[in-house]
């Protein structure tokens, strides 16, 4: 039985050989007989170019299926063509996703998945860069740190071009393990390379971690912005208020970002009426995300560092531009672009594509630049950790408390 694709190719071949081509596209009708074309020239040229483009791809697939030494899989080849199309754009954040990869991303957005618990991105040298391990996950327990680079997984080399495949391997059944070969840059500039075995678990991402410090100072750490974060933040905030909180530390350190609506909703709690952020597309289309006139009247310090990225920087930029909070720590990551995720085709695949850049209320795009703190404080290398659990060695949090004690 002749496949539909081969049948169409046979028709095209016959048409070319007889020099008589009739095509119908929407409401456009074209007849070509010899040198005569009954169609506007620009429309005919466009259709001819499209035919030639797809003919090249189809010819390559036919040659591979006929001559390639090993078995071929047409579906895999087609997916590879789609992946290559987006990869050619040169943007590590723009990707074609298989059905499995798309489903995994949707699970991450919802706040749970099975894996090791680490946020990664592409580094400047095309390696897989750890933005931050997720708190209380196998990745953190295994000692992975912000700035580490994953160069091999289970002995196989991976680059940033293969980041989706790397994620797929690192995820898996709880109770199983994966071996990561990590490259870490030391303070003296030297590199250490070591293998780290990480056990997979069911990861339920707890994005909010609250605590009450001395002097009625509340503390809320936001580890990422997913669908539940704003709701959980409000619950934690109200609980701290009921305990007498009158000043607040919001900890965005090592928060790699997430959903814009979530960070805008939390920022809106503390900002007066105005712009939280706005995005702009290539076509110049602008979308504004605004806060209303209702605002909690409470002194705030935001803690930031090099692991604070994307949606974290939206909040940090908004709070800084409007002088609503004091920023303490180190310069943020510098991701000032927005990706749109959407389903694609009928087989469950998806596309993640960079579609716009975002700006702070003052009109600043921080992509590749980051946001500077109002007060720079470097966390010492010998710090046991960060957050209220490690208050004795967390000098950034200590500085936040000091600043808040001086505020009325």
Active site (annotated) includes residue 335:
yes
Active site (annotated) includes residue 321:
yes
Of 149, 171, 209, 335, the active-site residue reads 335
Residue given tokens 């750490």 in the structure block = 221
Of 262, 291, 310, 356, the active-site residue reads 310
Q: Contacts for 347-351 with beta carbons within 8 Å, 24 or more apart?
A: 347/99, 348/99, 348/102, 348/103, 349/79, 349/82, 349/96, 349/97, 349/98, 349/99, 349/102, 350/96, 350/97, 350/101, 350/102, 350/105, 351/86, 351/95, 351/96, 351/97
- Residue 390 burial (CB count, 10 A): 13
Active site (annotated) includes residue 112:
no
Of 148, 321, 394, 399, the active-site residue reads 321
The H or E element containing residue 107 is: helix 99-110
Active site residues per annotation: 310, 321, 335
């Amino acid at each position: 039985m002749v496949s539909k694709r081969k049948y169409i190719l046979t028709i095209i071949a016959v048409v070319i050989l007889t020099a008589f081509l009739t095509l119908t596209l929407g409401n456009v009708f074209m007849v070509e007989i010899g040198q005569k074309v009954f169609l506007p020239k620009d429309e005919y040229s466009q259709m001819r170019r499209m035919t030639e483009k797809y003919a090249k791809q189809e010819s390559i697939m036919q040659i591979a299926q006929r001559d390639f030494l090993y078995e071929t899989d047409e579906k895999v080849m087609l997916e590879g063509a789609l992946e290559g199309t987006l990869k050619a754009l040169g943007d590590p954040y723009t990707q074609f996703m298989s059905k499995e990869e798309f489903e995994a991303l949707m699970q991450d957005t919802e706040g749970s998945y099975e894996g090791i618990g680490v946020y990664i991105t592409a580094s400047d040298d095309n390696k897989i860069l750890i933005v931050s391990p997720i708190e209380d996950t196998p990745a953190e327990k295994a000692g992975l740190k912000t700035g580490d680079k994953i160069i091999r997984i289970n002995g196989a080399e991976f680059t940033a071009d293969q980041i989706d495949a790397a994620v797929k391997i690192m995820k898996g059944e709880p109770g199983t393990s994966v071996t990561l070969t990590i490259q870490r840059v030391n303070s003296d500039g030297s590199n250490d390379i070591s293998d780290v075995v990480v056990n997979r678990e069911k990861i339920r991402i707890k994005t909010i971690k609250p605590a009450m410090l001395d002097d009625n100072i509340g503390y809320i750490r936001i580890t990422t912005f997913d669908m539940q974060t704003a709701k959980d933040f409000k619950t934690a905030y109200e609980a701290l208020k009921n305990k007498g909180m009158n000043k607040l530390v919001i900890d965005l350190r090592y928060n790699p970002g997430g959903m814009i609506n979530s960070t805008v909703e939390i920022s809106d709690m503390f900002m007066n009426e105005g712009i939280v952020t706005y995005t702009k597309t290539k076509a110049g289309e602008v979308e504004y995300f605004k806060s209303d006139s209702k605002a909690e009247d409470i002194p705030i310090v935001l803690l930031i560092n090099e692991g604070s990225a994307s949606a974290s920087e939206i909040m940090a930029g908004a709070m800084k531009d409007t002088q609503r909070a004091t920023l303490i720590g180190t310069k943020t990551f510098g991701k000032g672009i927005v990706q749109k995720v959407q389903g694609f085709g009928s087989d469950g695949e998806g596309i993640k594509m960079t579609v716009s850049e975002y700006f702070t209320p003052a009109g600043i795009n921080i992509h590749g630049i980051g946001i500077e703190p109002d007060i720079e404080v470097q966390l010492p290398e010998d710090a046991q950790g960060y957050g209220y659990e490690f208050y004795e060695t967390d000098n950034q949090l200590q500085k936040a408390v000091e600043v808040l004690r001086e505020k009325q």
